[in-house]
């Protein structure tokens, strides 16, 4: 999986925890926390959720992506963590390297559309794959997962 810059160490230090203390809170070792902080270990959905609970923060506060989820009052941490992980995994699979700004924008778009449409994971992953493949081919990435409305053409008759 592509490594995404994170703010685990910053959040941990803000909370006044050592690596060992945070490790006890999430049920792992200090060495594992060190690897996560330095992006030497994959930051999976499970790790994001465990760290968010222990550090009392949201997934988008832990990763270095400009994610906006303004259309919902409360953030679904499991969905947001899944999206971050899926985007990184699929980007690696297709050997694409989107910028943090692009990833943040696409995760925001996907998150908001998923929350509005109650999309199943398979459909979300298909959307992610489409976005990343479109960007790899130089096409403009979709700005919504809603189907485009068919244009109606009206034939005018000359009288």
Residue 141 covered by a domain: no
Above pLDDT 70, what percent of the chain?
76
Question: Which CATH number does the domain housing residue 47 bear?
Answer: 1.10.260
Tell whether 157 is covered by a domain: no
CA distances from 43 to 4, 32, 86, 112 (A): 8, 11, 11, 22
| Sign, CA torsion 70/72/77/80 | negative
User: Is residue 133 packed enough to be buried (19+ CB in 10 Å), middle (13-18) or exposed (0-12)?
Assistant: middle
| Total domain count, the chain | 1
pLDDT at 146: 46
End-to-end CA distance of the chain: 64
Query: Within a domain: residue 156?
Result: no
For 105-130, what is the mean pLDDT? 81
> Comparing 14 with 114, which gets the higher pLDDT?
14
Is 46 a residue whose pLDDT tops 70?
Answer: yes
Q: Does some domain include residue 150?
A: no
Determine the 3-state secondary structure of 6 from DSSP.
Answer: strand
pLDDT attached to residue 40? 87
Residue 158 is assigned to a structural domain of this protein = no
DSSP character at residue 159: -
- pTM surpassing 0.75? no
Domain extent at residue 115: 8-136
Closest CA to 42 of 85, 87, 90, 13: 85
Residue 148 has pLDDT above 60, yes or no: no
With vertex at residue 51, the alpha carbon angle to CA 47 and CA 52, rounded to the nearest 5 degrees, is: 115
* Structure tokens belonging to residue 86: 């899926």
């Amino acid at each position: 999986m592509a490594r995404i810059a994170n703010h685990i160490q910053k959040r941990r230090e803000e909370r006044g925890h050592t690596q060992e203390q945070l490790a006890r809170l999430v049920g792992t070792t200090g060495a594992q926390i060190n690897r996560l902080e330095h992006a030497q270990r994959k930051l999976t959905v499970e790790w994001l959720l465990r760290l968010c609970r222990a550090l009392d923060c949201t997934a988008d506060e832990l990763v270095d992506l400009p994610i906006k989820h303004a259309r919902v009052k409360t953030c679904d941490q499991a969905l947001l963590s899944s999206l971050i992980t899926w985007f990184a995994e699929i980007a690696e699979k297709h050997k694409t390297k989107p910028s943090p700004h692009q990833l943040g924008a696409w995760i925001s778009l996907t998150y908001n559309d998923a929350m509005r449409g109650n999309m199943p994971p398979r459909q979300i992953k298909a959307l992610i794959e489409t976005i990343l493949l479109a960007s790899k081919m130089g096409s403009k990435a979709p700005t919504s997962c809603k189907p485009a409305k068919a244009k109606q053409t009206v034939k005018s008759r000359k009288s």
